[in-house]
């Protein structure tokens, strides 16, 4: 909203290095002491197609994408097809400019590469610029890069131009280049960076926007810049996970790749296998044999894991699965975020669900809750699922490195040693009572194949304490009840902890509430700040525990407010539905703000949604925005 | 294989035994007793497997038997070892991961023809290709037993069942040829009616260092009435009529083809079809490329002195 922040959007074609340039730019800003947050937008296509990344930076905390942005670096799309307006997909060559203008704030800065973009392709750019007070700097970045090195280095020229326009020197960028390049490539890039900087510094500047001032405490000393996927992977590694099996699928591939790149050096194993049914089954096999194991996928691949997931529940084999959601149904929009797999994750697989599901709201929570997922899975012998989405998986955040300076937790959980097995209950046949009826917590400790005195049968069929197939009704009820008790124990354990996975935000005594789950948390928090600044009285709760549901915490939150807006990225208000089902009341207090166009919420959309519905006695039926939809509370 | 620590006390146990191993150790103490129909070929697999264990020198608690779903899947209920009765078609991915996690285990997977060649066919192909050091026994009764007699992937063309009342229009799959082309390093066929050969073949398969596939003909007198009892049978190694080199892929392929055709013409051929010696198992291959640890991963979790790596030490790339 304010201009004490920079939201730099680098736009171009897929395959033009937009992502890596933006990552380095974000790192550079972090090194200047700013807090940084990124938002990626890219097509499901390898070469060509409109792509952008926004890097938002400020001296104060930034937790979300912003409302629009204020600096555009429009590079060309070198793989654009169909340079005609009438083409089905429009004029792709011009898209780095045309597609980005609507979101650019008043008074914003535009740098575009005249080497690849022609002003003539953009209808009335000049007129619009005059109207909106934009400051336009056409620069031949391609020409400059070609002259001093090669065309592909035009991104570097763009960064040099950006730095000059923001009043930054090139030092921090050169430092970064020096760390990851060498020889001629380094020398040429540095030259291009400096040339562009010099040329643009010498031009007349009409804009006011400069690099924001101040230092954010997280960036003060030894900060690191990490994505949600990275945080999930690092949480898994620190939980002692040394086995992963998977099959590539966006956006889950990020977690799978990071794990696969690190496991060999740690003496672990990564298996890329034939399909997701195999992937989940391998994780189960490895865990059964005594290793901390995980798998995961995105919507469609996770659907294939449905039956193995149930097998893990029934055999009580600990596993952690990641579900990195993307827009569905079916193949949907593979590179776009959505939160529409909630019900899928909670209930998929036959029979009553018996699993733990966490949806972290931030990069830090992704680390913490992945560790917690392993803990719950191995202590309570059930599958634990970490639900992220394309938004959280790709966004990066600044975190002080000491956050990660903690003990690993490689414990196998409820497992007996051979000495303990010696003392443990066995059937007269000599088989170990792996699935006793009586444990109060529901957890009947397991043995690991190869241990003397521990043999038993794990079975997906209902079974006796030794694991043998049984359809006796008393045994059935005893086993069902015991497995259900494990979930109650998980809830009791989580409720008893010092820090909850649910994140409250804003004034405790606020009149109204905003409820989110998973990745919408940061955006809602920004909206809360703005609403309170504007005289409203609002607080938020970001929920992460989805199963077992944190009923007491959510109920207390809802009790404390008059009305609550539930914000989620899907079309059927799945989280509101879950909340209603779990709490059995509050239907008349919960309205929904939904978005499912493939683009995550901007804080302003939440502000607007709130203002148009909650506390507004005259709200008429449809207060939906341009790309959001409002579903009023029951009875409204 | 002996292991460095003794957290898995059962592993390597057999070597220390003076009295040898009794096949009856693999019979459940009291219960459960097998519930297969009288005359079912599945009894033959159980018997042959128990008989093979003293030969290969493994005790019950160092064996992990992973089964699928079907009449055949019940094998793990009647064989007293560590067992995993998984879901339909998924025995192989569960089993092969257990072997990667703890190579000290003797891992055996088993299931039906529907389980292995139909619903789990993708896993069959890939597990064979990867050449995991394990044994896979497919109970081939040319029928879906447990679901009451529907046509299976190995049912002969023209086979009539409730789901193909006019007879199956499909040619059956070729299990031996599939295993060979996928990359299995040991391929054999035996039959329940030939207990001695079956025991020998299972022992060889278990001892083989790589993926050993045994297509085990198991008569189903209940649903496959018109089908054979698989007698008389011929052992291709013993018969003068057949002469081929089991170490030669081409000759093996020809013999497999002939054997698969012959079954549907009423001639039951059995024996060893392909044996590839000296090829590294997947676990060994993966360790050699640096993608798997040298010592069993499962042991690490019981090692109080192991220094676990931390993500904190990976942060330089994020600064
Ligand atoms: C996913 C799934 N589909 C179908 C079934 C039902 N089902 C159980 S066993 C079986 C086929 C059994 O045939 P086969 O694998 O040849 O084993 P057999 O009983 O003949 O030993 C089927 C279709 C199931 N359990 N799971
Ligand atoms: S139905 Fe056939 S395969 Fe199943 S137990 Fe009976 S005879 Fe054996
Ligand atoms: Mg069958």
pLDDT tens by residue, A71-93 = 999 998 878 776 666 777 777 88
Both structure tokens of A234: 């690092």
Please name which of B31, B37, B34 lies closest in space to residue B146, comparing C-alpha atoms.
B37
Q: What share of chain A is helix, strand, coil (3-state, %, to 5)?
A: 40, 20, 40
pLDDT of residue B2: 39
Domain boundaries, chain B: 5-314
Q: Does residue B132 carry a pLDDT above 60?
A: yes
pLDDT of residue A539: 98
pLDDT tens by residue, B5-64 = 579 999 998 877 888 999 999 999 888 899 999 999 999 999 999 999 999 999 999 999
Return d(Cα B155, Cα B133) in angstroms, integer: 29
Q: Mention every residue, 6+ apart, whose C-beta is less than 8 A from residue B143.
A: B113, B149, B150, B151, B152, B155, B161, B220, B223, B224, B227
Q: Does residue A233 carry a pLDDT above 50?
A: yes
pLDDT of residue B87: 98
Phi, psi of A558 (to 5 degrees): -70, -35
Structure-token match 């011009």, residue found: A94
DSSP conformational letter for A105: E
Check if the beta carbon of residue A377 is closer than 8 Å to that of residue A355: no
Q: Does residue B3 carry a pLDDT above 60?
A: no
Check if the beta carbon of residue A508 is closer than 8 Å to that of residue A493: no
Q: Torsion angle of alpha carbons B112, B128, A278, B7, nearest 10°?
A: 100
Q: How far apart are the first and last CA of chain B?
A: 45
DSSP conformational letter for A321: E
Return d(Cα B299, Cα B296) in angstroms, integer: 6
Q: Which bin fits A48, alpha (ψ -120 to 50), beta or left (φ > 0)?
A: left
Ligand 1 pocket, residue B66 CB under 6 Å = no
What three-state secondary structure class fits B281? coil
Domain boundaries, chain A: 5-201, 225-404, 418-495, 503-631
Residues A205, A75, B319, A409, CA torsion sign: positive
Lowest mean pLDDT segment, chosen from A27-41, A108-122, A454-468, B173-187: A108-122
pLDDT tens by residue, A576-605 = 999 999 999 999 999 999 999 999 999 999
Check if the beta carbon of residue A518 is closer than 8 Å to that of residue A365: no
CA of A245 to the centre of ligand 3 (A): 29
Phi, psi of A389 (to 5 degrees): -145, 175
Chain mean pLDDT for chain A: 94
Both structure tokens of A254: 């990020």
pLDDT of residue B1: 37
Pick the CATH number of A503-631 from 3.40.30.10, 3.40.50.920, 3.40.50.1980, 3.30.565.10: 3.40.50.920
Band of residue A204 on the pLDDT scale cut at 50, 70, 90 = very high
Query: Is A5-201's fold the same as A503-631's?
Result: no
A143, burial (CB in 10 Å: exposed 0-12, middle 13-18, buried 19+): middle
Structure-token match 């392709």, residue found: A121
Residues A361, A367, A368, A373, CA torsion sign: positive
A:433-462 residues touching chain B, CB 8 A cutoff: 448-461
Please name which of A406, A396, A356, A350 lies closest in space to residue A377, comparing C-alpha atoms.
A356
Report the chain B residue with the minimal C-alpha distance to residue A309. Answer: B87
Give the best residue of B11, B25, B65, B82 to mutate against chain A (max A CB count within 10 A).
Answer: B82
Pick the CATH number of A225-404 from 3.40.50.2000, 3.40.50.300, 3.90.550.10, 3.40.50.970: 3.40.50.970
State the CATH class of domain B5-314.
Answer: alpha beta
Check if the beta carbon of residue A278 is closer than 8 Å to that of residue A347: no
Superfamily of domain A5-201: Pyruvate-ferredoxin oxidoreductase, PFOR, domain III (3.40.920.10)
pLDDT tens by residue, A478-494 = 999 999 999 999 999 99
Say whether residue A171 is in contact with chain B using an 8 A CB cutoff.
Answer: no
Q: Are strands A223-227 and A396-400 parallel, antiparallel or unpaired?
A: antiparallel
Return d(Cα A123, Cα A142) in angstroms, integer: 23
- Ligand 2 atom at minimal distance to the Cα of residue B42: 8
Which residues sit with their C-beta closer than 6 Å to ligand 2? B 36-37, 40, 42, 71, 141, 145, 220-223
Return d(Cα A146, Cα A124) in angstroms, integer: 29
Q: Does residue B119 carry a pLDDT above 80?
A: yes
Both structure tokens of A14: 């897929």
Q: Does residue A621 carry a pLDDT above 70?
A: no
């Amino acid at each position: 909203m304010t201009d004490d922040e920079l939201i730099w959007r680098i736009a171009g074609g897929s395959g033009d290095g937009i992502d890596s340039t933006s990552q380095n730019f974000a790192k550079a800003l972090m090194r200047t002491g700013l807090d940084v947050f990124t938002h990626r937008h890219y097509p499901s296509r390898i070469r060509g197609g409109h792509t952008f990344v926004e890097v938002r930076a400020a001296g104060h905390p930034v937790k979300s994408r912003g409302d629009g942005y204020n600096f555009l670096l429009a590079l060309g799309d070198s793989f654009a097809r169909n340079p005609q307006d009438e083409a089905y997909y429009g004029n792709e060559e011009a898209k780095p400019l045309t597609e980005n203008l609507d979101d650019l704030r008043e008074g914003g800065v535009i740098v575009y590469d005249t080497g690849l973009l022609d002003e003539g392709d953009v209808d009335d750019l000049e007129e619009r610029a005059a109207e909106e007070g934009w400051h336009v700097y056409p620069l031949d970045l391609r020409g400059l890069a070609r002259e001093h090195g090669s065309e592909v280095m035009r991104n570097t020229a763009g960064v040099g131009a950006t730095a000059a326009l923001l009043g930054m020197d090139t030092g921090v960028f050169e430092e970064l280049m020096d760390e990851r390049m060498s020889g001629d490539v380094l020398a040429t890039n540095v030259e291009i960076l400096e040339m562009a900087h010099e040329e643009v510094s010498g031009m007349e500047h009409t804009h006011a926007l400069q690099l924001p001032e101040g230092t954010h405490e997280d960036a003060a000393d030894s900060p690191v810049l990490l994505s949600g996927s990275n945080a999930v992977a690092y949480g898994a590694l620190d939980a002692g996970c040394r086995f992963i099996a998977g099959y590539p699928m966006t956006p889950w591939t990020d977690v799978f790749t990071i794990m696969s790149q690190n496991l060999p050096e740690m003496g672990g194993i990564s298996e890329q296998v034939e399909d997701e049914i195999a992937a989940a089954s391998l994780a189960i096999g490895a865990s059964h044999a005594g290793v901390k194991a995980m798998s995961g996928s995105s919507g469609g691949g996770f659907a294939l894991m449905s039956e193995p997931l149930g097998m893990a529940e029934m055999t009580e084999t600990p596993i952690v699965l990641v579900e990195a959601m993307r827009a569905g149904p079916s193949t949907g929009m593979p590179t776009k975020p959505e939160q529409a797999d909630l019900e899928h994750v909670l209930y998929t697989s036959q029979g009553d669900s018996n699993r733990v599901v966490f949806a972290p709201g931030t990069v830090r929570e992704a680390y913490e809750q992945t560790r917690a997922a392993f803990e719950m899975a191995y202590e309570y012998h059930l599958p634990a699922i970490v639900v992220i989405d394309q938004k959280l998986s790709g966004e990066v955040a600044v975190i002080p490195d000491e956050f990660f300076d903690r003990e690993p937790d490689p414990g196998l959980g409820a497992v007996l040693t051979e000495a303990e097995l010696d003392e443990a209950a066995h059937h007269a046949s000599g088989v170990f009572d792996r699935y006793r009826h009586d444990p109060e917590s529901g957890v009947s400790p397991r043995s690991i194949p190869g241990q003397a005195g521990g043999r038993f049968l794990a079975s997906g069929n209902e079974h006796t304490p030794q694991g043998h197939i049984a359809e006796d009704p008393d045994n059935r009820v005893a086993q069902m009840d015991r497995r259900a008790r494990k979930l109650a124990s998980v809830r009791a354990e989580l409720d008893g902890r010092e820090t909850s996975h649910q994140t409250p935000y804003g004034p405790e005594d606020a009149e109204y509430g905003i409820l989110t789950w998973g990745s919408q948390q940061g955006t809602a928090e920004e909206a809360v700040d703005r609403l309170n600044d504007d005289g409203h009285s609002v607080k938020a709760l970001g929920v992460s525990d989805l199963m077992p549901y944190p009923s007491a915490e959510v109920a207390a939150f809802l009790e404390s407010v008059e009305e609550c807006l539930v914000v989620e990225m899907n079309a059927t208000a799945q989280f509101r539905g879950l909340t209603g089902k779990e709490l059995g009341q509050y239907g008349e207090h919960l309205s929904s703000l939904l978005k499912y166009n493939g683009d995550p919420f901007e804080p302003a959309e939440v502000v607007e949604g709130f203002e148009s519905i909650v506390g507004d006695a005259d709200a008429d039926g449809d207060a939906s925005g341009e790309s959001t939809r409002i579903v009023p509370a029951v009875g409204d | 294989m002996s292991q460095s620590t003794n957290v898995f006390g059962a592993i390597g146990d057999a070597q220390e035994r003076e009295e040898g191993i009794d096949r009856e150790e693999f019979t459940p103490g009291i219960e459960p007793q097998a519930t297969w129909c009288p005359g079912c070929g599945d009894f033959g697999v159980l018997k042959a497997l128990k008989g093979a264990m003293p030969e290969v020198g493994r005790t019950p608690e160092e064996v992990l038997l992973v089964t699928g779903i079907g009449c055949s899947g019940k094998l793990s209920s009647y064989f007293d070892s560590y067992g995993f009765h998984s879901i339909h078609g998924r025995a192989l991915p569960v089993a092969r991961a257990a072997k990667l996690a703890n190579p000290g285990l003797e891992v055996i997977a088993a299931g039906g023809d529907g389980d292995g060649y139909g619903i789990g066919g993708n896993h069959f192909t890939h597990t064979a290709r990867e050449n995991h050091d394990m044994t896979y026994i497919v109970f081939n009764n040319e029928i879906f037993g447990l679901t009451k007699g529907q046509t299976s992937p190995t049912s002969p063309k023209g086979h009539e069942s409730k789901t193909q009342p006019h007879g199956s229009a499909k040619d059956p799959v070729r299990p031996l040829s599939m295993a060979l082309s996928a990359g299995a390093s040991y391929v054999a066929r035996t039959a329940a009616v030939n207990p001695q050969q079956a025991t020998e073949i299972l022992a060889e398969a278990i001892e083989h260092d790589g993926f050993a596939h045994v297509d085990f003909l198991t008569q189903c007198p209940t649903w496959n009435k018109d089908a054979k009892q698989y007698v008389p049978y011929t052992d291709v190694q013993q018969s003068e009529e057949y002469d081929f080199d089991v170490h030669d892929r081409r000759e093996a392929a020809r013999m497999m083809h002939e054997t698969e055709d012959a079954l549907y013409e009423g001639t039951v051929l059995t024996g060893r079809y392909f044996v590839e010696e000296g090829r590294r198992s997947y676990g060994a291959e993966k360790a050699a490329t640096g993608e798997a640890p040298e010592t069993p991963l499962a042991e690490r979790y019981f090692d109080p002195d192991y220094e676990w790596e931390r993500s904190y030490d990976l942060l330089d790339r994020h600064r």
